[in-house]
Chain A
Amino acid sequence: MPRDSLIPFDNISNEDELTSPHRGRERSQRGEKRDGVYEKKKKKKVTSRRRERSGVDEGGVQLEHERRDKEKRKRKRNTVQARGEGEENHKEREDERKSRKTAKLGKSLRNENSQKIQKEGEEEGEENQEEETEKKPKRKKKHGHSKKEEAEDEGKYELKEETQEVEKKNTKTVAETGLEQESSEDTEEVHEEDKVDQEDHENQVRPCSLSPEELEKLKEAVEERKKLIQSLRGKPWSMKKKLLTLRESQEFVEKYEGALGKAKGRKLYAYKVIMTKKWMKFQRDFENFKTACIPWEMKIKEIESHFGSSVASYFIFLRWMYGINMILFGLTFGLVMVPEALMGKPYGSIPRKTVPRSEEASAMNFAVLWDCGGYAQYSVLFYGYYNDQRAIGWLKFRMPLSYFLVGVGTVAYSYMVVIRTMARNANESGVGDDNSFNFSWKMFTSWDYLIGNPETADNKFASITTSFKEAILEEQENRKDDNIHLTRFLRVLANFLVLCCLAGSGYLIYFVVRRSQKFALDGLENHTWWERNEVNMVMSLLGMFCPMLFDVISTLENYHPRVALQWQLGRIFALFLGNLYTFIIALMDEINVKREEEKIIKFNITMWESNLYNGTGSENGTTVSPIIIQPADVPRGPCWETMVGQEFVRLIISDTMTTYITLLIGDFIRAVLVRFLNYCWCWDLEAGFPSYSEFDVSGNVLGLIFNQGMIWMGAFYAPCLPALNVLRLHVSMYLQCWAVMCCNVPQERVFKASRSNNFYMAMLLVILFLSTLPAIYTIVTIPPSFDCGPFSGKKRMFDVIQETLESDFPSWFSKVFIYASNPGLVLPFILLMVLAIYYLQSTSKSYKEANVELKKKLQTQNEENKKKNKQAALKAQLDLEEAQKVASQAPKPRYKSEKFCYNSLSVTEKCQQTKT
């Protein structure tokens, strides 16, 4: 543009003096408008300087006045225009873009530009004009840059720079007049219009510094911009243009919103701005604080960025589990263990709370304690320690009732939480469940945006490409349909192999359990540590190695990794379940053995007591003095409940140990070896044969779930189990986080864990159910031991409730309860529930159908729209072709002049608009 180059030449030195007071005013205005607080301090200085200067050049006062008037008029006009521009913004721009080549619009454009330059000279309407100018981006950058500098620099410097800038702008206003002359030489029409403009200027009344009308207009312009920002998303522009417009309009709004108020309003505005900024900052900090408060959030995020969301989902699951266990722990610890420890009878007061004489010597040995014998057995950690006293301590704490209710409550709470979470997850994942757009799904949704590690990103990239390849192949194969028999055969074969594996492992466990019973009959002391811990060892080892084998077998099937993961999970589930149930069956056998033993001992004890009584009675004759026997010497029953609890604790401990040891050996030691042996090995260990291990999501999740199942099963007989589990989860959180980050490599086929979370939940629910079954069975069917635990002396454990109802509640309540538990009432209630469930299910089914219908409708509508669009596009193309034909036929100059006429017309229209 010639304008830019012209600016420096037209610098009239005389006018420098003339306009200097005016400049001062400008400066103050600008300052205020740009930024509220900082500039206000400066304002005083500036105004004082202005006074000085106005005092100095009194001669030019008259001239100055004239000039000021002119400027004001122009400004008013420009604000009007600015408003107009807001509306016609993009239209104009497009026009210009078209005209740029044809160049006859140059004059009118220049005219516009010149008007804008006037505005520039006055105040900061720059952004607006820059939209129109050709060198828009460049200048904008410059401007933004200078602005930043200003903001950064100190006050004095800023003052200087501003004065310089204002000078420049003044020169621009001068340049504008020169330009106008030039343009008038070029074309008469434009000149005429200018004249009209000038007339317009003169017709206007002289306003005060910022008239309410102006404010109104400015406000409107700001509103306009705001609207534009809001509706920008729907505009059919290119992204670049959108961004540009957005930025410009945002700046505009930011700048002028504050200027709208008066002095007080400005202050308030500045205050508001500061407060909003502070508030935003605070909010951001608060968000950060909140994330910092979520336990292990940062760690999980880091892992997520390295390993993708499937690995992270395991850790999130682990955290969730930890939370649940904390609550279980709180319940058992707060309502069972602590009251018993504080208020119950102390250790050594009664036989069930004392280590028997025969075991006293070895009760403190580590091996015994590790096996949960000795002092560990006779403590609050196990069922047998609790007394059957109805109320303990000064609080009259109903210990047996509390024990029972906590046992039931933990399970009920777990059910509730799991089901609630499942329902929530189902809501979240209910959408987008169709496979009809396989490739578009792959195309647009396969990236995992949480990945932040280049290696993982590479892997993800590779996996996406391979998945595309595979999907294409799959499609082809679907059409061919010839290889399906082989895959089917392979899948059946794989399942057969897995079944063999399961049967083998089940038999092994059964065999081991039978052997251990034999050992138990022989007496455990005669056998080695290996033989005594055989069951646990074998169970842990099988639980560890069989999944590996399944993994290898599953490569036969050639499933998608997400499907493969689910199969894998199912198989491991079956394995663990089989192992667990074999274990439980063995336990049941043992319980029966213990109960036989108990009968004998009970008989023996009565004999012993009567002997004792008879003996003392015969000595003392009439008076029955209390017989003092050490509680350690009293013979006692085997207490099968404690035995069950001990078994579970042992199982948990050995399981935990195996997990940690595998982690250390399989991951850490391997990683160390691979890393450091690689320097002196004949092949590449890292990329090739042993390599680093990958994180095994399915195995770990299932380990966690089954661990939880064992907790639920055993928690009734060993109140310490939740505490143990919390400890274990806590440690394993840190250990596994460390191990993953330190020794594992991202999976080669990184995939998103989109809906597997609910799969975990479903498995957890199943396990919960399956683990509560045996517990409930033992509670309901087997009578409690006669001499240990809170329910000793009762026929069944749940008799506690009846007892409480009878003695602690008024008689009408128990009556009501009895009526309520009448089968005549209970059965209809259950029937009602079943009906309700059925009703809900059928409604949900109908909703689903409706959903499918709607989806179909949407699809057809889309297709129709597509057709319409296509037709429209075709029509447009035809029109365009015709127009091009016409254009090629018509002579060029005529065409030009036509366009030019049109443009000038539009300009006159605009002028009219401004007039009105």
Chain B
Amino acid sequence: MVSPAIALAFLPLLLTLIIRYRFYFVLFYRAFLVRIWKDCVTGLSREERAFQYVLTQATPGDPESILDAFDAWCSKVEFISNIGPKKGKILDRLLVEQSPLTVLELGTHCAYSTIRIARALPLGARLYSVEMDQRNAVIAEKIIRLAGFDDDTVELIVNPSDEVIPRLRSDYGIERLDFVFMDHWKKCYSPDLQLLEDCGLLGKGSMIVADNVLFPGAPKFLRHIRKSGLYEWKIHRATLEYSQGIRDGMAELVYQGIK
């Protein structure tokens, strides 16, 4: 039988762990416990709840207000891993600098990032957004239309990314992607990037931006870009969206091609 004094000696360790990893505990609470609880109570999915909130709060046709509504919901009510306002600003800057004409987005989810990208695009540019989940896609479609982007600017493709990418050239007539934004399953980052390389969709100067490369993290992806030597890359260090203490990064890659 362990004596109580020895058990008490473990108290500092417990305190340390709690304090050090408090952000993770908070995240766990907000992203899982609250979600499960609300799912049970309301019977709606998280995305539907978000959509309802946006519908009530935002002005239709104004992307800015929709984004604000999303940010408010995600930081105050529940947690959805959108790109968030801070990293979103970096994304905006990159888009303005690059002013791409053909943009591919992997992982639409609630269309938050789609609206952000579409907003910053130059005239005549086209954004292809890929979403795997049918239910999310329906909501995303609604939100995109709510923001006032038509089919010419944003095209939603409902399919897994690894099926879509090989068919981009044949089905959608894309020759070269100027900008790719990745925010889907972190495990798919690396294979999808390799698919893009293999299909020859990336030209010299094409930019790829991948969110959440440090948390939850895409180690294989990072390893790949380090080793392949095809990219000029850097990681914008930031914190996880709607949370302060968890460090995250957004990778910015510029395809250089084989030298």
Do A and B form a real pair?
Answer: yes
Q: Which B residues lie within 8 Å of A542 (CB)? A: 9, 12
Cα distance A531–B4 when bound, in Å? Answer: 10
Greatest chain B CB density within 10 A among A501, A505, A683, A684 is at A684
Greatest chain A CB density within 10 A among B3, B13, B19, B215 is at B3
Nearest-neighbor residue (CB-CB) of A690 within chain B = B21
Contact with B12, one of A537, A545, A688 (Cβ below 8 angstroms) = A545
Cα distance A541–B24 when bound, in Å? Answer: 26
- Interface size classification for chain A: 20 to 34
Q: Which of B57-65, B90-98, B116-124, B216-224 contacts A (4 or more CB under 8 A)?
A: B216-224
Q: Are B6 and A530 in contact (CB under 8 A)?
A: yes
The answer to whether A511 has its CB under 8 Å from any CB of chain B is yes
Q: Which B residues lie within 8 Å of A530 (CB)? A: 1-3, 6
Q: Are B219 and A684 in contact (CB under 8 A)?
A: yes
The answer to whether A528 has its CB under 8 Å from any CB of chain B is yes
Q: Bits for A517-530, please: 1 = Cβ < 8 Å to B, else 0.
A: 00000000000101
Q: Are A552 and B19 in contact (CB under 8 A)?
A: yes
Cα distance A766–B2 when bound, in Å? Answer: 36
Min Cβ gap A548→B in Å is: 4
Known: A684-B214, A684-B218, A687-B219. A508 touches B9 (CB 8 A): yes
Nearest-neighbor residue (CB-CB) of A748 within chain B = B247
Min Cβ gap A691→B in Å is: 11
Q: Are A515 and B217 in contact (CB under 8 A)?
A: no
The answer to whether A686 has its CB under 8 Å from any CB of chain B is yes
Q: Which B residues lie within 8 Å of A537 (CB)? A: 6, 9
Q: Are B217 and A534 in contact (CB under 8 A)?
A: no
Min Cβ gap A747→B in Å is: 15
Q: Are A545 and B218 in contact (CB under 8 A)?
A: no
The answer to whether B15 has its CB under 8 Å from any CB of chain A is yes
The answer to whether A102 has its CB under 8 Å from any CB of chain B is no
Give the B interface residue count (CB, 8 A): 24
Q: Which B residues lie within 8 Å of A294 (CB)? A: none
Q: Are A538 and B6 in contact (CB under 8 A)?
A: yes
Q: Which B residues lie within 8 Å of A551 (CB)? A: 16
The answer to whether B5 has its CB under 8 Å from any CB of chain A is yes
Q: Which B residues lie within 8 Å of A682 (CB)? A: 216
Q: Are B5 and A512 in contact (CB under 8 A)?
A: yes
Min Cβ gap B162→A in Å is: 19
- Which secondary structure characterizes the binding site on chain A? helix
Min Cβ gap B57→A in Å is: 31
Q: Which A residues lie within 8 Å of B9 (CB)? A: 508, 537-538, 541-542, 545
Nearest-neighbor residue (CB-CB) of B214 within chain A = A687
Nearest-neighbor residue (CB-CB) of B19 within chain A = A552
- B residues 232-247 touching A (CB-CB < 8 Å): none
The answer to whether B8 has its CB under 8 Å from any CB of chain A is yes
Contact with B5, one of A538, A546, A687 (Cβ below 8 angstroms) = A538
The answer to whether B10 has its CB under 8 Å from any CB of chain A is yes
Cα distance A688–B21 when bound, in Å? Answer: 11
The answer to whether B20 has its CB under 8 Å from any CB of chain A is yes
Q: Are A684 and B19 in contact (CB under 8 A)?
A: no
Known: A545-B13, A552-B16, A552-B19. A688 touches B217 (CB 8 A): yes
Q: Which B residues lie within 8 Å of A512 (CB)? A: 5
The answer to whether A678 has its CB under 8 Å from any CB of chain B is yes
Min Cβ gap B29→A in Å is: 15
Cα distance A538–B16 when bound, in Å? Answer: 17
The answer to whether A689 has its CB under 8 Å from any CB of chain B is yes
| Chain B interface residues toward A at CB < 8 A | 1-3, 5-6, 8-13, 15-16, 19-21, 24, 186, 214-219
Return the 5 tightest CB-CB contacts between A and B, nearest first: A684-B217, A683-B216, A541-B9, A545-B12, A545-B13
Could you list 14 examples of A-B contacts with CB < 8 Å? A511-B5, A530-B1, A530-B2, A534-B3, A537-B9, A538-B9, A545-B9, A546-B12, A548-B12, A551-B16, A684-B215, A684-B217, A686-B219, A688-B217
